Each structure stands twice: as structure tokens, then as C-alpha cells.
Structure 1
Amino acid sequence: MAFSRAARLAGVVFGVVPLAFILFMSSGYLAAKADARLLDVEGQAGTLLEQILSSVRVVQSFAAESFLVKKYDAYLDQLQRLGKWRSVVRGLELSISYCILNLTYSVACKWLYCDMLGVAHSKYSLVRKPINCAGQPRSWINRVPTIDVRGNKGEKLWDSQTGEKVNASIEVRNLTFSYPSRPDHKTLDDVSFVLEAGKVTALVGASGSGKSTIASLLLRYYDPLPAQGGKSSGGIFLAKRDIRDLNLPWLRSQIGIIAQDPQLFTASIFENVAYGLSGTPWELPTSESEPNYQERLADAKIRVEYALKQAQAWDFVCKLPEGMDTRIKGGRTGVLSGGQRQRIAAARALVRKPRILLLDEGTSALDAETEQRMMAAVHEEQAQSGMTTM
């Protein structure tokens, strides 16, 4: 019927159908292969990003921003390469499609010309909408943060690479603080005390009395700056220097924290502990192209193994199917028990050789014997490095 109604148009269509079929099958196979790899890498990147955002306190505590940005960038580089390949395949598919369409349309362009103009005009409004919507997010992105976590300003009191003992005494002076979400409620009211360098100091109080708040202020999640009505004032001093005058990445690299409810990442046990090296001179390399990759990786494995032994985690890690390379689920749940997760978090804090160690009920899930052995390792580390513990 096609040849009887429009012989020229039918001849054009049927002449290219066999070739188009072969090309479509080939490009479809390549596209499916590229899509599978693309979705896999995209899933890994999305999982990492979701865990970074849900574990932002952990990331900040261990000064892991730069390390995790590099790791996320590596995923994006893979996606870019795969995307380019997928674009070539997609371009081939579209070229075939439009070749057939244009051959067909060339016969009937007289009738289609006005319709194509209408389609182009309708797409113009779709382009304008995202351009108009881009203004508000840009203003959020350009907002200057109160605490600049990526800035390089501020003083560094000592070299992190030296193993010498330092005076890491901490003074909390006339500290009054209210959270931004509750400006009328004083979480801390004119609090003053001193954490002596190289010793253990315990803060004891009822739930909600501000113990964790002091740890948050020491890590500079917040600053005790005067707010409306003068609700926040005072300061925290490290070695007699106001911590607001210190380099923030350096300050956080000096602190290790073990929380009551530790947040781990979907990664191997080795990687979870090695995240504690972020911001230190022994930071785990993210790419094989980095200088001295093998030497740095071997050094990191030695440090991670020693930290796992300090945290009383080495015995159960060795019994896992792949040892340190066993992959665990992120978040606050998974195959590991609460006590095991707490010991992994303890190893993550100890591996960075911190000058200051914060235990926010960090041994609550451990039995008495394990807790005693771990605290003995902490005291030994204290004697060697002069670590201050709260």
C-alpha cells in the first residue's frame, strides 16, 4: 500500500530500514553495557554522598572534608568518562534516528516546516524555567559561612608530624551558650574549668546538662559568639590560645572523638578506620596516581592494625571473612554489634594519634573487661604522647 500511495517516500524508508536495524542493534548493546557501569558508579557516588551528609559531624570531627571530596571527585571522574562514552553511543542512536527522519521529512518538509517551528517554540519555555530557578540556589552557595571549614587562616600551635609531648591544656572560661534553634534557653551558663594537659578529666552531669555541647564547641561545630540578647559569651582556650584564632582543619586534626552512637560508612573496616587519618600527615591516598601510593597505603595499614589492637577490636576483625577488608554497612546499624561498632570508632579516633581525646560515653556499649583493656591502651598512649583526655 505504501508504494501505491507514495512510492518515492516508501522507497526511501525501505531502503534504509535494514541498515538502521543493524546499527540500532549494535548501538543498543553498547548503550546497555555503558548504562550498567554508569548506574553502578552512580550508585556508589550517591551512597557516599548520602553518608557524608548524614554523618556531617563525623566528617567535621576528623577533618575529612578534603579527603572525602577527593574520593567523591574520583567517582565523578569515572562518571564523566563513562558519560562521554555513553554520549557517543547515544549520539550514534540519535544520528541514525534523525537520518531516517530527515530522509523521510525531506520528502514532506513542505507540510512539516510549520510543525517543527511550533515544537522548537514549545521547548524554549523549558529552557527558560531552569535558568530562572538558578538564582536562589546560587545565593545560598555564595553565602559566607559563620565558621569557614575550608579556610586556611589561623595559627597552628605545633607540628603534627613531631611525636614530642606538647602542652595541650584546655581552659573553658566563663562560657555561656545557647543553640541557634533555642536562643532563649541557656545550655551552658557561665561555665569555667580547666582540663589539665596529659591527664584524664571526667565531666559528670545529668542528661541535657551540656556535656556534649562542650565537646561540640571544642570541635567548633558552633562558636560561643554573642547572639541576640547576649545569650552566648566566653571562650575555650587551647594552650592559652583562643580556639577561634586557630586554623580550623589543624585544630580538628588534633582531636579524636569516640561517640556513644558511632556513625560508620559503607566501606571496608580498613577504610572506616583510615578515615581517622584525614587531615593528618598520614592521610590515606585516594588514587593510585598519587606519589608513593604503595608506601603510603602500606603505612596506613600498619597504623590501622595498631589502632584496632589498641581499641580491642583486632581479635574480632581477624575472625571476619576478609579481615580488615570486610565491607560493612554504614549508618548506625549493620552486621556489627553496638560494642563492635564502638570499638571500630575508637580505632578511628586513636589512629590519628590525637593530642586531645574526647569520649562522649564512648565505652557505653562495651563490657567491663573490654572497657578496662581499652582504657589501659588509652592511658599508655597518654604516657607516650601527653594526650589530654575528656
Structure 2
Amino acid sequence: MESTEMKRAYSVWRLLRYCDTVDVLLMLVGLLGAVGDGVCAPTLLIIISGIVDEFGKGSTSQRFMAIMSKYAVYIIYVGLGVGLASFFEAAAWIKTGERQASRLRCLYLKSLLRQDESFFDLQGANAAEVVNSVATDTLTIQDVIGEKVPQLAKNSVTFFASYLVGFCMVSKLAAVSFAFMPLLVVPGLLYGRTLAGLARRMHAEYGKAEAVVEQAISCVRTVYACAAEERTLREFSHKLENSVMIGLKQGLAKGLAVGSNGLVFAIWAVLSWYGSQLVMNEGVHGGKVVAAGLATITGGLALGTCIPILKQLLEASNAGERICNLIERVPTIDSADNRGLLMEAHKVKGEIEFKNVSFFYPARPETPVLQDFTLHISAGKTTALVGVSGSGKSTVISLLLRFYDPLSGFISVDGTPIKLLQLRNLRAQMGLVSQEPALFAATIKHNILFGKEGASMEDIIQAAKRANAHNFISQLPDAYETQVK
């Protein structure tokens, strides 16, 4: 258990590695603002203590108005302090949260695009989840940094400052109220633990229903062909039944959580009775009793608000761990590695040789694809690989482009093993047209430019002609500026 907590704490600190100097300064300013915001409420209670005492002294009108004017000025100062501190608190934390989340998104996507094919093969069904993490996990981290951390800092300061004020004013009353602290924490526990758990279950159930809709829409022709519309609707309704039951439980839990705030009035009743005993028997000023009671209750409620935030911090630490693990992962076949020999394009002949190559896919180690495979392709020759599905035709191309590395044997281009070549330089010497080509949501011109950044329009037209696509593209209304959808 201890190692798990240390691991979570370490994952939180790992995120700070990606902060720059501006982020550190923003967090310090935001922390000072949170401290100022947190001490404002206890400070106001000190002023209220003096006001209540003045109400009971029976001073002359002139003296009473002078004192009230003085306290009004103090309250104005506190109000200005709250406004200023809150502004710096919110502005600084939201700004740094946005900056850090944006930086993590860029680093995450950069690292994700850097990974080799085997990484996505081993992810299997979780591949989509890995891709979606760039949005979901970074949003979680941004929300925690921008809102939850300052709330936690502010409420923690409010808790300590309130009880400090309470003990300084009426220590006996503060000690009695300390015993009621667990009751003040109950609303926070109900909100944080029960409602958060039900919300996760609700999200999971909605995910099951969304999967039915997604499959039906993506394969709508099959649904129509099999006359499965009614069956799809029934399945969708069935998946929603559990979410309805969870929603009822969520409503009940939320009602109990909101209703439990009534415990504050019961606690205040006890403190009022005990405070009256202190006033009558020990001569304690009524203003101090009122301020000490309000301070301890305020501090207890602030502590109860901190508990669900701690849970969200742990969720953010888990998200940070997933993001940092991918950002720091260095693939075996690294496209960002600039080491290796360079091939000059005008000197490349194109002689390819596979020698004693054996290979199986990482996700299917029990199924060998190539065993002691040898092939020689002469430069300038056209070679066709023929075989049944699964015989390794596409695998040969994947190995040549170093999407994967063979388990044994070697592959060479013009007599040089491809493992010794710089990966980007190797792939720049080849052109691949797959069986099912994918087009990006951009113009035809920009899709062709993915193959060679910075190419001129003449180069683009020449590439299209060599692919027998120029005549077709020229007949489109916008030619090479046609948007691919």
C-alpha cells in the first residue's frame, strides 16, 4: 500500500518536469492568492466578533456609529483583499493549467506518433483508449491544476486559520466543536466517494449503450440488410436499464448528501448552548463565542470539501502516470533517432535482399509468418509476391519499411543492412501504395505533400502522373485544391 501511494506521489511530481519557469511563477502567484483567499473568512470573523460585542455594550450613539464606521472600513478592506486574492488565484492557476495541459498534449501526440507498429499491436482493443487519452487524461489534469488544486489550497488554509482563530478566542468552545468535526466531513465524504463511484458506473453503462449505437451506425447497411432495426433498438434500451437504476441511486445519494448539511444547524445549536454557559458562568464575551463557533464550523466544512478533491488529485496522478509513461517511452524502432548511415537518393539502385528472415507478429507469437525466408529483387525489376491470405506478402513490405524488425536474418538495400541506415532516410527512398489507402481531411495537394514536405507544384503534378492520377484529378472542379472528406 505504501509503495502504491509513493508511486502516485511520484507520478504527480513527474508532471512538474514539463513545467517551465513561467508555470512555476504562475503556480507560486496562484498559491499566494489561495492563501490570501483562505484567510479572508477567518479574518472577517474576527471583525464580526468586535461588532457583536459592541452591540451588547450599550454605547452612546456617537461612539457606537464611530466604531461601526471603523469596522465597516475593515470589512471593505477584507472584501478588497478577497477580490484581489481570488483574482490572482483563479487567473494564475487556470493559466498554468491551460499551458501545462497544452504542452502535455503536444508531447503526448509527438511520442504517440513516434511509437512503432508493435506498440499498437500489443495494445489491441486498448489502442483507441491510448489515442483518446490525449484528450481525456489531459483534460483531467487541466481541471485538477486549474480548479481543484487552488480549491484544495484555499480550503486547507481556511481550515487551519479558522481553528486557529477559534482556539485563540475561546479555546474551550473550539475544543468542543472539534469533536463534531467528523459530522461536518460527512457531506464531503458522500459527495466525493459515493457520488463519484456512481458517476463512474454511470459513465461505464453509457459507454456500453454508445458502443451499440456506434456499431449500428458504422454498419448501417448490414443492419438494414438483416432487418435488425428493432433488435438494435431493443439492445440499446436494454443497455440503458442499468443506467436508469444507477441514476435513481445517484439521486438518493445526492439527496442524502445535500440533506446532511442540516447537521451544521444541530452542531450550531450545541455550540450556542455551550457558548451561553461560558458567557454566563465565565464571563466570556458574546462576540468571541459567536466568532469562535462560526470559525470552527467554517473550518470543518472546508475540511469536508477537501476530501473529494484529494480523490480527484489521485485520479489526476493516475492520468499523469499514463501520459508520462508514453511520453518517456522510447520505441525499439525509433523514427526520431537520427543516427545511422544516409543514402543519397541519386545513388540508390534499389537492389533488395531478404536472407534467412524469420518473423512473427508481437501480438501473435504462436503464429510464425516467415520462416527462413530468402528473396533477392534486382534493381529496376518488377516483382510480384503471390500467396494465400496470411502467407506474409504484406509482412515483407512491413519488414522492408522497418515497421517491424525480423527475429533472425537480415534485410539489405544495395548491400547495406537496413538496420544500419537512418530510419527516416530509408523510408524517404521508398513509396508505398497500400491496398486500402487512407486520405487525410485536407486537399488532394496537401495529401500528396505528406509524401514530401516542401515539394513544388511541378513535383506534385509529376507524382500524380506517375501514379496515373493526374487526368482524374484535373477533371475535378477544384483540381488539386479539391477537399478530401
- Tell me which interval the TM-score lies in, with the shorter structure as reference length: 0.3 to 0.5
TM-score (norm: length of structure 1) = 0.48
* Structure showing the higher helix proportion among its residues: 2
TM-score (norm: length of structure 2) = 0.39
Larger radius of gyration: 2
